[in-house]
Structure 1
């Protein structure tokens, strides 16, 4: 009798533990689905798995040299966006300078009003050198003053990204 009772208690405990795990999985799935439904896609679709944080991407950039590339997906927030037509944006990646994101083949643009919004981005990270003229063009697009534009005098080593897809929080 004692063996039957012990076996029944153990079986009940195992079933109870299994149900708790299932409940957590459903809750986590529902949470992720809610997050996904609040994102608007621009460009090519991509999976939300293996998504780096902005700080992890910053660490990767710290180890890249000019000409190096890496295919990656990451989450961040928008610091600046082109006010002419949304053809580029800059995002925060922690300790290093903001990353300049351009869009593959200029096949898509992002809205001009997404500053401070969360984004998920997929594409190729690389380090480049930005000429003075291009820096001045970006400063003008960002609405900087003529004095700020004229102060740009030297090429700049930049952390860049060519995005094939962007998801913007709504």
Structure 2
């Protein structure tokens, strides 16, 4: 009689310890398979874009953070403290949080998002009537990336 609960307890504890954290395998694909023939480093994407505001390309970089799993929202390291905000074009794609820190290849559309300059009339005045000049030259635009397909490297 006492052996039955002991046996169930032993089987349950073995099943709990048998579950291991799955690592993301090399070549795991989310969305469509990216075209890897011409890839740009994420750290050089802004220079590659030049004066263009939108460009279709394939980038290679490291995922800094998965901000939202549903819809595939994440950030990519762009070097020098800059970040590329990325999300999937197809909202049905769900990515794991384990993608953080992994190197990826992602195909999609990169775009520059411009921020209003302090000198524009919409920025407004301070209480004492002077303009605030807190926006530096690097923060006037940020890069976004709409991903069609992603592959874990």
Shorter-chain TM-score category?
A: 0.5 to 0.7
Shift of 1:84: 5.4
The whole-number CA distance in structure 2 between the counterparts of 1:51 and 1:162 is 15
Shift of 1:85: 3.7
Cα shift readout 1:36-84 (whole Å, capped 9, x = no counterpart): x8210000112211111222214235x346xx20000011000111255
TM-score (norm 2): 0.60
Q: How many pairs are equivalent?
A: 108
Q: Which residue of 1 aligns with 2:109?
A: 124
1:163 and 2:147 aligned = yes
Map 1:59-78 to 2 at 5 A: 59-61=47-49, 63-64=50-51, 68-78=53-63
Greater helix content:
1
**CA spacing shift, 1:93–1:159, aligned 2, 3 Å:** same
The whole-number CA distance in structure 1 between the counterparts of 2:47 and 2:80 is 8
**CA spacing shift, 1:64–1:99, aligned 2, 3 Å:** farther
**CA spacing shift, 1:84–1:110, aligned 2, 3 Å:** closer
Q: Which residue of 2 aligns with 1:88?
A: 73
Greater strand content:
2
The whole-number CA distance in structure 2 between the counterparts of 1:156 and 1:105 is 28
> What runs of 5+ residues in structure 1 fail to find an aligned partner?
1-36, 131-153
Secondary structure of 1:76's counterpart equals strand
TM-score (norm 1): 0.54
Shift of 1:110: 1.5
1:50 and 2:38 aligned = yes
Extract structure 1 runs of 4+ deviating beyond 6 A. none
Q: In 2, are the aligned partners of 1:86 and 1:112 still within 8 Å (CA)?
A: no
Larger mean Cα displacement after TM superposition, 159-168 or 104-113: 104-113
Shift of 1:88: 0.6
